[in-house]
Structure 1
């Protein structure tokens, strides 16, 4: 029997076509470990489990070589990097969430523009309330964070006849569909957009990026959609703009998160909130399984794994 363990958050017998050279252990963040963590070489981080739970086994994983998350962002794992030996690779989920998150970004945008939350309330009160709402057609949409998810969002925007998609990333470059602006160009870009969709990872550079100055540059009536991470947006600054009625927002993520009862964001005018469900959908499991099969096949063959975003740094 192999002495190299792979920890999976799914029962191993539920996944087919896994390399036979490993011993698979099922662990989804429970208090008890399925085996000695020191034998684990490939750790698939449990999905949507508390940060302290998923970081807990790292100090004991002395033979670890790969940490594979099932999330696009890895901010919840960064505190664990100093616990890892040099060369341990931290991988994100690559394109796993592109489809589901882009789908929700479009749903939130359409729902907010077309007044679906207001119609739901009217239905409950048996009121037939007609009005003219903004269409997504002919809107200028800025995608802040033009990576895999940002590109997937653009794929879904174009059939809705938007007038323009403005792509923004940390650095300017050229993408297959056109230019990508750097974030330093935001002050000139923001006054001329109708919708901003935030899909950037949470880093030191993006934390608080959507602040009071950012929001003040948006035109009256603009819509902010956040499917990234809550701390990318300054909550107090957003509340001020929502309270004045100048801007609207559709948020799948918040800061703080989970949003506690009594928080003013719950009842701010012009805001639609979903509880961080961009990734969790029926699209998740089959794409997660494909990702794990591919990564474990590379690992078994001694090939470099994909989607490496950081490496460990513990000294022995």
Structure 2
């Protein structure tokens, strides 16, 4: 930085716990507490606390009139972006690409296997001291469709490679060709869904994906197919999904729901063939080391006046 002042940086991890932070900044620790650690108006670089509710995450942003960078530690930025509307032009919003791929992809595959092999049924059998033997579906020879083929979608395909899937098909908002094969456009879904035994959602939440998985989408999936959502809850129309799972025609494994957190008494909790995990795709031991590396790398670039990585939106 060329300024003679020391710009403020707000971090959700104490600065002395992050190796490689550049000098020249005044670091403040704030992880969503009631009291702010400093005047938000002096903050130049804001790292949003992770896994906090939306209200907490955006609370200081309206007062950050000098902020230049808002860095999330989540892959999605839909919870933060609306709060940037009142800020000056040129504020860069960066996501946490590179932080969550490993753990989210692990969970996606775990949910597929647990649902197909009925691991929840085995746990219930163990609780009831019942020996539930029999034949169960395998992932081997299944056709898998990944909807949302960014870095997380690619990481999911990496982990599917050893499972002898019959086919992996990729869909994203931007069609392209990769070393693995084509990535189809979203408007190809009606032709692709009938061939998919397993559909994995790993797309960001934006206007083109909100409600993407509606009644027509689900109706196009074949009988017995499995829907896995590690994206965002509102990508799926919950009422339409309930119709399909309560009829027994489809299965679902959901790390995210709409509403979220899923309230007590909601019919999804006890719908047949629905496996629910509490939005823990990124909440693993893999998170903190990768988050610290991202923070240090981004601030090093910021200090040197170099382009930042993972910029998903610029105000103005």
1:164 match? 167
CA distance in 2 between partners of 1:223 and 1:7 (Å): 42
Which consecutive unaligned segments of at least 5 residues does structure 2 have?
none
Correspondence for 1:278 among 273, 278, 281? 281
Check whether the contact 1:81–1:311 (CA below 8 A) recurs between aligned residues.
no
2:185 corresponds to 1:182: yes
Correspondence for 2:248 among 245, 253, 262? 245
CA distance in 2 between partners of 1:86 and 1:231 (Å): 29
2:230 match? 227
Report the count of equivalent residues.
Answer: 313
Correspondence for 1:60 among 49, 52, 63? 63
Once the two structures are superposed, the pairs formed by residues 213-224 of structure 1 within 5 Å of their partners are 213-224=216-227
CA distance in 2 between partners of 1:57 and 1:15 (Å): 22
CA distance in 2 between partners of 1:263 and 1:69 (Å): 30
Check whether the contact 1:91–1:309 (CA below 8 A) recurs between aligned residues.
yes
Once the two structures are superposed, the pairs formed by residues 16-27 of structure 1 within 5 Å of their partners are 16-27=19-30
CA distance in 2 between partners of 1:6 and 1:80 (Å): 19
Moved over 6 A (4+): none
Residue 167 of structure 1: SS of its match in structure 2? strand
Residue 156 of structure 1: SS of its match in structure 2? helix
CA distance in 1 between partners of 2:246 and 2:272 (Å): 6
Check whether the contact 1:58–1:83 (CA below 8 A) recurs between aligned residues.
no
TM-score by length of 1: 0.98
Which consecutive unaligned segments of at least 5 residues does structure 1 have?
none
Q: Deviations over 1:262-284 (max 9, x none)?
A: 00000000100000000100000
2:120 corresponds to 1:117: yes
CA distance in 1 between partners of 2:184 and 2:214 (Å): 19
Q: Deviations over 1:133-166 (max 9, x none)?
A: 1110110000000000000000000111101000
Once the two structures are superposed, the pairs formed by residues 19-98 of structure 1 within 5 Å of their partners are 19-98=22-101
TM-score by length of 2: 0.98
1:139 match? 142
1:5 match? 8
1:203 match? 206
Give the superposed CA RMSD.
Answer: 0.9
CA distance in 2 between partners of 1:11 and 1:77 (Å): 22
1:288 match? 291
